[in-house]
Amino acid sequence: MTRKLVECIPNFSEGRRLEVVDSIAGAIAAVPGVSILDRHSDADHNRSVITFAGAPEAAAQAAFDGIRRAAELIDLEQQRGEHPRIGATDVVPFVPLRGTTMEDCVQLARELGRRVGEELAIPVYLYEEASLRSDRVRLEDIRRGEYESLKETIGSDPYLAPDFGPKQLGNAGATVIGARAPLIAFNVYLTTDDLKIARKIARSIRHSSGGLRYVKALGLLVEGRAQISMNLTDTTRTPVHAAVEMVRREATRYGVAVHHSELVGLMPTAALADSAQWYLQLDGFKLDQLLETRLSGEEREASFLQRLAAGTPTPGGGSAAAYAGALSASLVAMVARLTLGKPKLTAVSERMRQIVEEAEGMRMWFEQATERDAEAFNQVLEAMRMQKGKPAEQVSRQQAIERALHGAAAIPLEGSRRAARVLHLAVEAAESGLTSAASDSGVAALLARAALQSCALNVRINAAAVSDAAAGEAWKAEVDRLSASSDSDLKRVEHSLRGRAGLDF
């Protein structure tokens, strides 16, 4: 029997405090049967998008847990960003995948909306295919005026009466929940910081202003550049390259160009192949000409361990340190899950749920860090390859190297902090978790200690190379402190394993 699968892509109004995003992601990942496929955070937008998939019931529970955690951690009275929003969890779309229909997702969205309204007292609006009102289908119509306007008018404007929940806003705002077909979130950055130009181009290309069908667009200022932020709602009718080429033509009118583009979340292979076919003029191209398509069912990409052994500078020791951290966090989550539901351990069940959520957030951070560490080291190599003949070039090269070294140190420094935290969670798992999983707790602790020491080594390497001696000394002092404090945690694990399971390290 084909396993039913839906995709859910909640957007949260936080992209700067990554520890908050970690906690939300952990709450989602803690639901059995749910897999997080992608996570994207943007500090300028102050927004994060988490893409996950699972069986319908599991996906709905994961979405609810994510909404609840976001409501606890995100205060709309304080939150500001470039992207429009009305809620801590701003929008939650469900998309049918394998063995499910749009009607399944509509029912899922409506049931979740009712539950969020009743149990969390958060106003909920239904949109797209799940909408209950023909005049309230589009997300942009519901979100017009944002949180600040909605707070003032939700109780008096009949149009803004929510489908579920109270007619008043708390600090978590409101949430829009719906069902829709797959869309692609795609951003194009321009070679200018002129926000007016971005807004003019967005107005020209979006369908609501007379532009391309199936294109929604906003002009924003992100990372010091004008950005055209687009949602492409049907790329079989308006493909990605059509939208990008129209942005390019419009940009030329204002004397600017496309600097680069950005994919937020995931996109179907067919949409990417469609654009490649158009740009390369590959008439007659078929998807089964892609090697990966032919190799379906085979390993499509070299594993991390294969790449680590390949004899290239990256991935290297920093990525391996992060990998150890991910293994440790995974084992902590495993022990906590095994402990849940055991009749003799009900007193620690709630704490074990919390540990699962936190450990899952740590695991995902470390998984991403295996790639981010390699990227950061590549930036150092690129800076070192810069020309150094003229005095001005020497200064520019040295500045680029210094920036790259600071970036390369930031990841293992954060990894050291997180490894120390995972080690502390391993202590709790060893002391309170399932006794038959005591050895797993011990392995988790040893891996966390290895990750911490390995991250610290990479911090010290970068600290020795930077020109900013004060910064380097501060980094070394912090990892020294973390390493010293980990000694006591490791002793607690050893004591617990000896006492509870008769095991010695």
Query: What are the catalytic residues?
Result: 83
- Tell me how far apart the alpha carbons of residues 384 and 361 are, in angstroms, rounded to a whole number: 34
Alpha-carbon radius of gyration of the chain: 25
> What token pair was written down for 202?
């967005």
Both tokens of 278, joined, read 């158009």
Which amino acid appears at position 295 of this protein? L
Give dist(CA 479, CA 472) in Å, integer: 11
Distance, C-alpha 313 to centroid of its chain: 27
CB-CB contact of 127 with 138 (8 Å): yes
Instruction: Determine the Cα–Cα distance for residues 359 and 372; give it in Å rounded to an integer.
Output: 19
Contacts of residue 214, defined as CB under 8 A and 6 or more positions apart, other chains included, come to 207, 232, 233, 234, 235, 237, 238
Phi, psi of 189 (to 5 degrees): -100, 140
What HEC string does 438-457 produce?
HHHHHHHHHHHHHHHHHHHH
Compute how many other C-beta atoms are within 10 angstroms of the C-beta atom of residue 398: 14
Task: Give the separation between CA 277 and CA 319, rounded to whole angstroms.
Answer: 35
What lies within 8 Å, CB to CB, of 416 at 6+ separation is 452, 455, 456, 459, 478, 479, 482, 483
Token pair listed for 445: 């602790």
Residues listed for the chain = 505
Phi and psi torsions of 503, nearest 5°: -105, 140
